A = this chain, B = another copy of it.
Amino acid sequence: MEPLNLTVYNEFIHERQNEFVGKIYPDGIHEAIAAYMRQQPGLQVRTATLDMPEHGLSEEVLASTDVLMWWGHAAHNEVSDEIVDRIQMRVLDGMGLIVLHSGHYSKIFKRMMGTTCGLCWREDHGRERLWVVDPSHPIARGVGQYLELPYTEMYGEHFDVADPDALVFISWFEGGEVFRSGMTWHRGKGRIFYFRPGHETYPIYHNEGILHILANGVRWARFEGNSETVGIGGCFHTEEPLETLSEKEYEAGDLDHPDMG
């Protein structure tokens, strides 16, 4: 099989501005994730950050990206609308998209969902337990019945997203809340996976269980569909019918025609 080209985007701000966060992710969240992914067979990994030209997401990079992973928190609005348009079109054309934690509020995720993507949240160092609710799903492979995280930021319902194709994980939080933490959608030819765990003040992306799920997600999100289908990217006029049409005498606007009753 061809290698899978993964691009990990991170706005890369907290890590450089906040001492705690910098201790956890000295090279940035993107590099923590990329380091793990580079060890996966068949993956070729690049990273991109907000401050790069075109945020590191040029036409060329996206055209050669099979799956794009997205982390953002402090600077969603600094992402250019033009590049959001570009990403959306690539997703509709088959690029996988994996949205992490606070990326729920990114322009690209809101664009794909059509909703506010709002939720409830609290930083409380509470425990989280992600339960597998769709054991048929490849993203849950090798996870056991649940994954436990000792300290997390809480995200609670209602999470204002479109209903998913598959609900893979539901989180239990020590503080009394629940959350649909792993969900998948497809839009056009592209697959989308949202995965909740995170927050820059916790070493979530050093956790083996989390990284394992993300790697499952990357493999799942790769396009394996039908590349010939039109309709995506525009309205297509089809010149000729596929079947012979019956003869009709209709003229537009002929309200007296017997068939117009």
A residues sitting closer than 8 Å to B (CB atoms) are 19-21, 23-24, 88-89, 92, 94, 105, 111-116, 118-122, 124-127, 129, 131-138, 140-145, 150-151, 154, 156-160, 162-163, 165-167, 170-178, 180, 185-191, 201-203, 206, 223-239, 241-246, 248, 250-253, 255, 259-260
Contact = CB atoms under 8 A, between A and B. Distances in A.
Given A129-B242, A245-B124, A141 B226 contact: yes
A241 B129 CA distance: 13
A120 B233 CA distance: 11
Contacts of A235: 105, 118-121
Contacts of A154: 238, 241
A241 B158 contact: no
The interface residues of chain A, by DSSP majority, are classed as loop
Given A115-B187, A203-B260, A232 B172 contact: no
14 contacts: A19-B253, A23-B255, A115-B188, A120-B238, A133-B159, A135-B188, A135-B227, A135-B228, A138-B225, A160-B231, A170-B180, A172-B172, A172-B173, A175-B241
A232 B160 contact: yes
B132 A246 contact: no
Contact of A145 (B94, B173, B230, B244): B230
Contacts of A180: 133, 170
A122 B241 CA distance: 8
Contact of A158 (B20, B24, B229): B229
Given A111-B114, A150-B259, A188 B160 contact: yes
A225 B135 contact: yes
A175 B238 CA distance: 11
4 A-B pairs with least C-beta separation = A175-B241, A176-B242, A158-B231, A20-B253
A126 B158 CA distance: 23
Contact of A233 (B24, B118, B133, B191): B118
A163 B186 contact: yes
A167 B134 CA distance: 14
A103 to B, nearest CB: 13
Contacts of A188: 115-116, 135-136, 160
B178 A131 contact: yes
A245 B122 CA distance: 12
A114 B162 contact: yes
A137 to B, nearest CB: 5
Given A170-B157, A178-B131, A114 B113 contact: yes
